[in-house]
Amino acid sequence: MAVLGKAKRGKSTLINALLGRRDDEVAPIDKLPASSAITRFAWAEEERAVVSFRDDCREPIPFARIREFVTEELNRENHKDVAVVDVVGSFENLDPDVVLVDTPGASSIHEHHDALLHAFIPQADAVILLVTARMPLDQDELELLRHVKKSDIRKIFFAVNKVD
């Protein structure tokens, strides 16, 4: 289940909440668009993270290093060529049959975020589209929904953020 939305809508914050985390160690957040790579979260008894690179190499890393591979701040324009980061652990709120996916935001100030996001969408079985209460659906989000529909994803859930 991929979490999609425009940049700075709170996708990583939502994922941290869905995982039962009270920190942003596994799904980093920032004042600027943060996510520069795809991160998948799954339930397992033991915590571990593995970075898979585009050249098919893999590197196990501790949770404390996730930020180095998935944020624009420490992996600008994904210059480390990260394909995906897989993070597993005993996340209290995550069903063992669900894989939750954090994606870069759409319509970001970084063009490569859109390319990465659109390339990933066809791989999703379902999506959560995160929108803001101030303007529930703008033109960019409607375009994102069109891309989801074109990918024949039929399970679409909406989450409204910033209702306060």
Tens of pLDDT, residues 55-73: 999 999 999 999 999 998 8
The rounded radius of gyration (Å) of the Cα atoms in the chain is 15
Please say whether the beta carbons of 102 and 11 come within 8 A: yes
Tens of pLDDT, residue by residue over 105-128, are 776 555 666 777 888 899 999 999
Q: Which of 34-38, 84-88, 113-117 has the lowest mean pLDDT?
A: 113-117
Q: How far is Cα 19 from Cα 39, in angstroms, rounded to an integer?
A: 13
Place of tokens 């859930």: 157
Predicted local confidence at residue 44, as pLDDT: 96
Q: Is residue 123 within 8 Å of residue 1, measured between CB atoms?
A: no
Average pLDDT, rounded, for the chain:
88
Query: Where would I find the H helices in the chain?
Result: 11-19, 66-70, 111-120, 139-150
pTM of the model: 0.89
pLDDT at 133: 83
**DSSP conformation letters of 22-40:** SSSSSS---SS--B-S-EE
